[in-house]
Chain A
Amino acid sequence: MSAHRRVFGALIRMDSVTKRYPDGTVAVDRLSLEIPDRSITVLVGPSGCGKTTTLRMINRMVEPSEGTILLDGEDVTRQPVTTLRRSMGYVIQNAGLFQHRTIVDNIATVPRMLGRSKREARERAAELMERVGLDTALARRYPYQLSGGQQQRVGVARALAADPPVLLMDEPFSAVDPVVRKGLQDELLRIQDELGKTIVFVTHDIDEAIRLGTMVAVMREGGRLAQYAPPAELLSAPADAFVEDFLGADRGVRRLSFFPAAGLELTTVPVVPVDATAKRLGAAAKSPYLLVTDVDGRPLGWSEPRDLTPGDIGTDRLLPYGRPFTPGTDSLRAALDCAVLSPTGWAVAVDADGKVLGVVSQSAIGEAIRTAHAGHAGAASAPVTGAVS
């Protein structure tokens, strides 16, 4: 491992920035945005609303017509454009890998450009391959030999190679299938946890924005800012009809992702082990359904009380218990989903080892949702953080 100096994030401030293209198109209109350091800021909006233009003004691939962009308090036009760009990783939709170079040499590009020796640059590249979850056995392959998802990982590794404080990403995961995309998103969140970069991430996918963003800037046609807020706030208090519409019909349910399931009141009354005595079964018989577990406490399935014989519970006639949730790590949304999918309307809560902690009914979850929303109402009406143009 080489001893790399940790370079942390930087703060970017856009001040009333306008971009008018030579043909007269106003791609970005007096946009003011304060992008916090060491966090992921997502620019989201319909196609053509100026997201790419905004992103490319930060590394001066596009020069603003009006307004200023400050990086760590300094105008980005104050330093030579190549110096500026080398301090910012840049990831684009189809990765844009150099097809004549091997994977390791693709990743080593910027360190080589900065004058590192070939050996040192390749060592660093191998390190980064591991960091982004790529098998180092792929190092000597060429881009065409990799899947789209793998290529995108290489793109991220290449952008991180010189340890830049800022990472600019333009729809990096839009061209891969949903399963791979989820993996890449998880990887990005993990990398961000470890490295603490200032990431500006462009997407047209509101789900991706809400999943990744510490702050989300919703943009509308004509390059104007519609709302700038943390995702939970966006879902609870959309600024106007456009944002509400853009968030989609199920924003109420999606908002539940931001409330932990830990507060749910679980009951163990209807939970019986497979070797339950007549007395134990009798105590539980008031419940319409019972959840049978194995001797270690892992769920086996649901049954009606009258179908159970003490000491000899047949496991073949049990109803499936569906997908359980884990109160410590899952959200209210996951708990609700479990309850909705359960044949009995009850969600099964398990611990990290898969042992049953208890069960909770749909109505109890509904109650918890009402309480959560009421508790958050005060916070949601507070002024949005960040600059408003």
Chain B
Amino acid sequence: MNVLDFAGAFFGDGAHWHGYDGIPQRLLEHVQYSLLALGLAALIGLPVGLVTGHTGRGGNALALVATAARALPSFGLLVLIVIMMGFGLLPVMIPLVILAVPPILVTTYEAVRSVDPAPVDAARGMGMREGRILLQVELPVALPLILSGLRSAAIQIVSTATIAAYVSLGGLGRYIVDGLYQRDYEKVVGGATLVAVLALVTLALFWAAGRLAVSPGVRRR
């Protein structure tokens, strides 16, 4: 049997489409974990990146923290946190957020830094306040890059959220973890395929968001 046969068998089995271990339920859980982690990471990464990018201060410290965070292995972190804190949603969220903050933070910082200083100077010269300069002059122009940071964070979260299954939570990781344990390779391949598809859907959503949110004057078409 090859991979395609495994996948075919998995998705062809009607039993996999309902119930607490059915595909819709696991998909929903996976999306929920991912959205929560992305939301928390954006809540940290966006404001810090925007403000440091605008003021230009703290860039070095930021790069250092980001590199350190990137070096941490998510799975290792999960195990460590579970040992310290026990099971639950929080031990899953911490490594996911730590994984997602650096790309958001660093890209947002770089995006704001790379905005042409001339319009910023003009805005300041016409008496615009700093907050407004950041939100109305810099952000709209930095948006494509910021979205790309959020996108890579989202993709990483979607693929890494499978670790939730190791601490008895749901999500698409269940199929992979259980499948490996039960030597049910249909299940493993099915779960992995679903994660890959979800990652592609995420890409498509970000592309659509870019079309909607970025001004034609910035997209230049």
Identify B217's interface contact among A59, A81, A82, A144, CB under 8 A. Answer: A144
Chain B 102-139, CB within 8 Å of chain A: the 1/0 string? 00000000000000101111111111110010000100
Q: A92 contacts B122, CB within 8 Å?
A: yes
CB distance from B155 to the nearest CB of A (A): 26
Query: Which of B119, B121, B215 has the most A CB atoms < 10 Å from its CB?
Result: B119
CB distance from B32 to the nearest CB of A (A): 33
A83 close to chain B: CB less than 8 A: yes
Q: B124 contacts A61, CB within 8 Å?
A: yes
Chain A 75-100, CB within 8 Å of chain B: the 1/0 string? 00000011111101110111111111
Which residue of chain A is the closest to B140 with respect to CB atoms?
A: A100
B141 close to chain A: CB less than 8 A: yes
Q: How far is the CA of A92 from the CA of B217 in the complex (A)?
A: 20
Identify B125's interface contact among A59, A97, A98, A143, CB under 8 A. Answer: A59
Q: B119 contacts A113, CB within 8 Å?
A: no
Q: How far is the CA of A93 from the CA of B132 in the complex (A)?
A: 23
Given A90-B122, A92-B121, A144-B220, check contact A100 B129 (CB 8 Å): no
B216 close to chain A: CB less than 8 A: yes
B218 close to chain A: CB less than 8 A: yes
Identify A82's interface contact among B129, B215, B218, CB under 8 A. Answer: B129
Q: How far is the CA of A85 from the CA of B126 in the complex (A)?
A: 5
**Chain B positions within 8 Å of A96 at CB level:** 116, 118-123
Identify A143's interface contact among B120, B128, B217, CB under 8 A. Answer: B217
A259 close to chain B: CB less than 8 A: no
**Chain A positions within 8 Å of B141 at CB level:** 98-100
Majority secondary structure of chain B interface residues (helix, strand, loop or mixed): helix
Q: B127 contacts A84, CB within 8 Å?
A: yes
Which residue of chain B is the closest to A59 with respect to CB atoms?
A: B125
Chain A 107-141, CB within 8 Å of chain B: the 1/0 string? 00110010000000000000000000000000000
Identify A98's interface contact among B124, B127, B129, B137, CB under 8 A. Answer: B137
Majority secondary structure of chain A interface residues (helix, strand, loop or mixed): mixed
Count of CB-CB pairs between chains A and B under 8 Å: 78
Chain B 163-191, CB within 8 Å of chain A: the 1/0 string? 00000000000000000000000000000
Which residue of chain B is the closest to A83 with respect to CB atoms?
A: B127
Q: A99 contacts B121, CB within 8 Å?
A: no
**Chain A positions within 8 Å of B128 at CB level:** 82, 109, 113
**Chain B positions within 8 Å of A155 at CB level:** 122
**Chain B positions within 8 Å of A83 at CB level:** 127
A42 close to chain B: CB less than 8 A: no
Q: How far is the CA of A258 from the CA of B124 in the complex (A)?
A: 39
Given A92-B121, A96-B121, check contact A113 B216 (CB 8 Å): no
CB distance from A208 to the nearest CB of B (A): 20
CB distance from A201 to the nearest CB of B (A): 15
**Chain A positions within 8 Å of B127 at CB level:** 81-86, 110, 113
**Chain A positions within 8 Å of B125 at CB level:** 59, 61, 85, 88, 90, 92, 168
Q: B126 contacts A101, CB within 8 Å?
A: no
**Chain B positions within 8 Å of A192 at CB level:** none
**Chain B positions within 8 Å of A159 at CB level:** 126
A142 close to chain B: CB less than 8 A: yes
Query: Which of A88, A100, A143 has the most B CB atoms < 10 Å from its CB?
Result: A100
Q: How far is the CA of A382 from the CA of B119 in the complex (A)?
A: 44
Q: How far is the CA of A98 from the CA of B137 in the complex (A)?
A: 7
CB distance from B219 to the nearest CB of A (A): 9
A214 close to chain B: CB less than 8 A: no
Which residue of chain A is the closest to B129 with respect to CB atoms?
A: A82
**Chain A positions within 8 Å of B137 at CB level:** 98
A257 close to chain B: CB less than 8 A: no
Q: B126 contacts A142, CB within 8 Å?
A: no
CB distance from B76 to the nearest CB of A (A): 43
CB distance from B4 to the nearest CB of A (A): 46
Given A84-B127, A113-B128, check contact A99 B122 (CB 8 Å): no
CB distance from A103 to the nearest CB of B (A): 10
**Chain A positions within 8 Å of B118 at CB level:** 92-96
Chain B 201-221, CB within 8 Å of chain A: the 1/0 string? 000000000000001111010
**Chain B positions within 8 Å of A158 at CB level:** 122, 126
Q: How far is the CA of A101 from the CA of B127 in the complex (A)?
A: 18
Q: B126 contacts A100, CB within 8 Å?
A: no
Q: A142 contacts B121, CB within 8 Å?
A: no
Q: A101 contacts B217, CB within 8 Å?
A: yes
A16 close to chain B: CB less than 8 A: no
Q: A90 contacts B217, CB within 8 Å?
A: no
A102 close to chain B: CB less than 8 A: yes
**Chain B positions within 8 Å of A93 at CB level:** 118
Q: B119 contacts A90, CB within 8 Å?
A: no
Q: How far is the CA of A158 from the CA of B120 in the complex (A)?
A: 14
Question: Mind listing 20 A-B residue pairs with CB under 8 Å?
Answer: A59-B125, A82-B129, A85-B126, A86-B127, A88-B125, A92-B118, A96-B116, A96-B122, A97-B119, A98-B123, A99-B116, A99-B141, A100-B141, A100-B218, A101-B215, A110-B126, A110-B127, A113-B128, A142-B220, A155-B122
Nearest first, the 8 A-B pairs at minimum CB distance are: A142-B217, A90-B125, A96-B122, A85-B127, A100-B215, A96-B118, A86-B127, A100-B140
Residues of B within 8 A of A (CB): 116, 118-129, 132, 137, 140-141, 215-218, 220
6 further A-B contacts with Cβ under 8 Å, apart from A155-B122, A158-B126, are A90-B126, A94-B118, A101-B217, A142-B215, A142-B217, A158-B122
